[in-house]
Amino acid sequence: MAKSWAEQSDLAKSFLEKARRKMKKLADPKRRHLEFNIGDKVLIKLIPQQFKAFRGMHKGLVRKYEGPYPVVAKVGKFSYRLDLLSTLKIHPVFHVSMLRPYQEDEEDPSRGASHRAPPVVTKSFDKEIEEVLSHKVRLLLMFSFLA
């Protein structure tokens, strides 16, 4: 009986090893080895589930990559620290799989630029509130603005 268990265990281990080799063989061609130098400009891959500003938006309306941002330092083997805007409330260190090199168009630099504000950037308003007209807890605030 103990011999049977040992044979079954060895058989399971061999099948697991075979499956691991097959998955590695299929995954390796898709991997890309990227290295960035300090000062290079990169784009950040955005994942909508990680940002509160994107959760209610349709994924077709969210840009896949945000940037360009300059690389400030290399952290570890595969991570880079970026110089992000202070209005972006995200951690500035990213794995290389979340970065893409930025290729600037020399003929028309404004070609890839977005004409709308990025949804992650918080917007500020320059009007002052005169008084609160009505208040319901967590549901609705009504304001009268000084014009």
User: Which domain, by its residues, includes 64?
Assistant: 41-101
Same domain, 47 and 68: yes
Report the number of distinct structural domains present in the chain: 2
Would the pLDDT of 4 be above 80?
yes
Same domain (yes/no): 26, 48 = no
The reply to whether 108 falls in a domain is: no
Q: Name the pTM for this structure.
A: 0.58
13 found inside a domain: yes
- Listed in sequence order, the residues at least 6 apart from 14 whose beta carbon sits closer than 8 Å to its beta carbon are none
In terms of pLDDT, which residue wins out, 77 or 145?
Answer: 77
Peptide bond just before 109 cis, omega within 30 deg: no
pLDDT in tens, 24-70: 999 888 877 888 999 999 999 877 777 666 677 777 777 788 888 99
Q: Does a structural domain hold residue 135? A: no
Q: What is the mean pLDDT of the chain?
A: 81
Residue 20 lies in a domain: yes
User: Are 17 and 52 found together in one domain?
Assistant: no
59 and 97 belong to one structural domain: yes
